[in-house]
Amino acid sequence: MDLFITIRVALRALRKNKLRSLLTVLGVVIGVCAVITLVNMGSGAQIAIEKAISGLGTNLLIIFPGSVTKGGIRTGYGTVTTLTVEDAQAIQEECPAVQMVTPLVNTAAQVVFQNQNWGTSAFGVNPDYQRIKNWPLEHGEFFTLQDVKAATKVCVLGKTVAEKLFGGQNPVGQVIRMKRIPFRVVGVLTPKGQTAFGQDQDDTIVVPYTTAQKRLVGITYLTMVMASAISLDLMADAQDQISNLLRHRHQIKKGEDDDFTVRNLADLIGVFSTITRILTLLLGSIASISLVVGGIGIMNIMLVSVTERTREIGIRMSVGAKPKDILLQFLLEAVLLSLMGGSIGIFLGIGLTSAVTYFTGWPSPVSLYAILVAFLFAAGVGIFFGLYPARKASRMNPIEALRYE
Amino acid sequence: MTRFISAEQLHKTYYLGDDVEVPALRGVSLEVGKGEFVAIMGPSGSGKSTFMNLLGCLDIPTRGRLLLEDVELSSLTPNQLAEIRNRKIGFVFQNFNLLPRTSSLENVELPVLYSGADASKRHRLAVEALERVGLKGKIHNLSNQLSGGEQQRVAIARALVNNPSLILADEPTGNLDTQTSAEIMQILKELNDVYGITIILITHEADIARYARRQVFFRDGTIVHDQ
């Protein structure tokens, strides 16, 4: 007997018990729907987190001057003055994996405008800083390379500082004072919000690093250097190139410790994606449990059905059905049930995912992979839980089956 | 007459539990020629149904030889037995044994379905068989919408749809009134006369048994009389 006819026979049997088939299917529907929705939402969370982290500047490398050991005392980071503007320039010129570089000098500063004042931290940088940090301006413009060369007294305000000093007013063109030195405000940065650790990124004032070195701090070295790699994949290359370059420039011999440290945020991203991946897997496995429960429902109904239709099995055997014909018929019924449930569940899952996206705004891409896995899993559930009842049916004694009341 | 069915010292013992033996057949020997119409009679528990189950390839004997068209049935696999049931044997039961809530046509198509014929052949054979038993107008009626006599006709149509050489009828008139019984027996007799199908009929009504040309009596698992 060919497969097509068997499918038709199985379908007819399912149609004869519409409500029962529907309720049985429901178990699988819920299971598949749960798997798809939760996996989609999990990968949505992953995307959201990665987006949030890349807002921090994912291909960012930060070079700190290291500590020195003198007479058994190891000083902390930033206590040495070995990192120079020339180092920053060399990194820009000689490291092919590096895209942009800015020297960085920071200091705490009390900022004054008329009768308002505010304590914040000032960053001395070059114009690449804005691009490295991927930080657009709300008002005005960022200062230029000319400002850096001439050590002009201009500044760009973080949103928090702008609000503390100017309230709602536009600060561009106004003059503020830091350490009694007048600075003209050329721009205001858009709010960036807090870091993952609760630090307000907008509580800052940005000036040319030359101005900071000469007028605010009075140093010739740098607090740190910030660089961006050309792409995320080239992070490791960029890091190696910078290390080698600086070891060479600082004349560090083989076997000696670096007098600097290169850090990046890629590790952070790695940790977060691992967490979300585990979370997605966890949600998916919990949802799979309901799929297994649905499968048990199918098995239960198939067992009832086989018992109920004992006489039918006997009749079919008496007219020449082979054991494998009977096996196939009942197995197909179970598989059809689970596949129907799977299909409905997929549509419902996609619908639910879209609804979640619509109402919460979470990104939740419909994962083709999850759909495929859920569908195959549903078919597998049908075969696994349908096999036992079908075998039971195919092994019946035809005489007893015919006599069954 | 060519040898069609040949039973030699046929034994069938059922085992209930581990040590309770119920001997249903104790050495039955019988020869039936092709085209015969044999009635098997005997009280309940005499072994006539067991004998028919063995003949119908629904069960295999415990001991002895049983040949159908010179094929030894006891050595066949379940699949081979199913094949013989499908191609050579038609069953007619006392309680009709039609699929419930299924049309006459589909019921009759069932054996053709399992023989692997295509849809058009299946349909043609089933309609022909239903015409032969006089149910041309009721091919789309569901089995539970038919009278007892009509249901038994559908069952006969199903039995002969694959053009079998043997029809086994187990008390085919047991659930029918006298008038309908006569009609059913007439159909069976015609199948025997016109198409030469061998018919083995089980009954305990003497006037039904009279349709057959040969009557075999069973008692306690053996044949006591053969005329």
How many interchain CB pairs under 8 A, A with B?
A: 61
Lowest mean pLDDT among A45-59, A95-109, A218-232: A45-59
Mean pLDDT over A201-218 rounds to 91
Sign of the C-alpha dihedral computed for residues A308, A311, A316 and A317 taken in this order: positive
Percent of chain B clearing pLDDT 70 (strictly above) = 99
Q: What's the pLDDT tens digit per position in A337-362?
A: 999 999 999 999 999 988 888 887 77
Q: What's the pLDDT tens digit per position in A365-401?
A: 777 887 888 888 888 888 999 999 999 999 999 999 9
Minimal C-alpha gap between A326 and chain B (Å): 11
Binary contact (A321, B101; C-beta < 8 A): no
Percent of chain A clearing pLDDT 70 (strictly above) = 92
| Residue of B93, B101, B114 lying closest to A325 (CB–CB) | B114
With b for 16 or more beta-carbon neighbours within 10 A and e for fewer, the A126-141 pattern comes to bbbbbebbebeeebbe
Mean of the per-residue pLDDT values of chain A: 86
Q: Is B222's pLDDT higher than 70?
A: yes
Q: How far is CA A104 from CA A84, A275, B170, in A?
A: 10, 33, 103
Q: What's the pLDDT tens digit per position in B137-155?
A: 899 999 989 999 999 999 9
Binary contact (B114, A311; C-beta < 8 A): no
Lowest mean pLDDT among A22-26, A131-135, B4-8: A131-135
Percent of chain A clearing pLDDT 90 (strictly above) = 36
- Give A256 or A164, the one with higher predicted confidence: A164
Q: Is A77's pLDDT higher than 60?
A: no
Binary contact (B111, A5; C-beta < 8 A): no
| Residue of A16, A314, A324 lying closest to B101 (CB–CB) | A16
Q: Which of B58, B77, B118, B171 to substitute to test the interface with A, most A CBs within 10 Å? A: B58
pTM of structure: 0.70
Binary contact (B111, A1; C-beta < 8 A): no
- d(CA A155, CA A172) in angstroms, rounded, equals 10
| Residue B202, Cβ density class (10 Å: 0-12 exposed, 13-18 middle, ≥19 buried) | buried
Mean of the per-residue pLDDT values of chain B: 91
β-bridge mates for residue B216, sequence order: B40, B226
Q: Is B32's pLDDT higher than 90?
A: yes
Domain boundaries, chain A: 3-52+271-403, 60-264
**Predicted local distance difference test score (pLDDT) of residue A78:** 52
**Predicted local distance difference test score (pLDDT) of residue A57:** 62
**Predicted local distance difference test score (pLDDT) of residue B212:** 92
Residue with tokens 């006459």: B104
**Predicted local distance difference test score (pLDDT) of residue B193:** 93
Mean pLDDT over B197-225 rounds to 91
Minimal C-alpha gap between B119 and chain A (Å): 9
Q: Are A139 and A72 in contact (CB under 8 A)?
A: no
**Predicted local distance difference test score (pLDDT) of residue A48:** 77
**Predicted local distance difference test score (pLDDT) of residue A256:** 78
Q: How far is CA A381 from CA A212, A263, B188, in A?
A: 68, 49, 49
Sign of the C-alpha dihedral computed for residues A189, A190, A195 and A201 taken in this order: positive
Secondary structure string (H, E, C) spanning B111-153: HHHHHCCCHHHHHHHHHHHHHHCCCHHHCCCEHHHCCHHHHHH
Residue A59 — very low, low, confident or very high, per pLDDT cuts 50/70/90? confident
Single out the residue of B107, B91, B112, B89 nearest to residue B164, CA to CA.
B89
Residues 63-122 of B with CB under 8 A from A: 78-79, 82-83, 85-87, 91, 93, 97-101, 110-111, 113-116
Highest mean pLDDT out of A14-23, A56-65, B124-133: B124-133
The first and second tokens of residue B225, run together, are: 């009389």
- d(CA B202, CA B223) in angstroms, rounded, equals 14
Percent of chain B clearing pLDDT 90 (strictly above) = 72
**Predicted local distance difference test score (pLDDT) of residue A10:** 85
- For chain A, the first-to-last Cα distance in angstroms comes to 27
Q: Is the ipTM of this complex over 0.90?
A: yes
Q: What's the pLDDT tens digit per position in A267-320?
A: 666 777 788 888 888 888 888 888 888 889 899 999 999 999 999 999 999 999
Q: Is A79's pLDDT higher than 70?
A: no
**Predicted local distance difference test score (pLDDT) of residue A54:** 66
Taking contacts as CB-CB distances below 8 angstroms, the residues of chain A near B81 are: none
Q: Are A342 and B181 in contact (CB under 8 A)?
A: no
Q: Is A68's pLDDT higher than 80?
A: no
Minimal C-alpha gap between B86 and chain A (Å): 4
Domains and CATH numbers, chain B: 3-226 (3.40.50.300)
The first and second tokens of residue A264, run together, are: 């990046």
Binary contact (A311, B97; C-beta < 8 A): yes
Q: Which residue of B has its CA nearest to A325?
A: B114
**Predicted local distance difference test score (pLDDT) of residue A220:** 86
Lowest mean pLDDT among A62-76, A95-109, A353-367, B49-63: A62-76
Lowest mean pLDDT among A155-169, A266-280, B36-50: A266-280
**Predicted local distance difference test score (pLDDT) of residue A76:** 58
By residue count, chain B amounts to: 227
**Predicted local distance difference test score (pLDDT) of residue A383:** 92
**Predicted local distance difference test score (pLDDT) of residue A366:** 77
Residue B2 — very low, low, confident or very high, per pLDDT cuts 50/70/90? low
Phi/psi at A366 (5° precision): -75, 115
Q: Is A326's pLDDT higher than 90?
A: yes
Mean pLDDT over B75-92 rounds to 93
- Give A198 or B49, the one with higher predicted confidence: B49
**Predicted local distance difference test score (pLDDT) of residue B140:** 93
Q: Is A325's pLDDT higher than 70?
A: yes
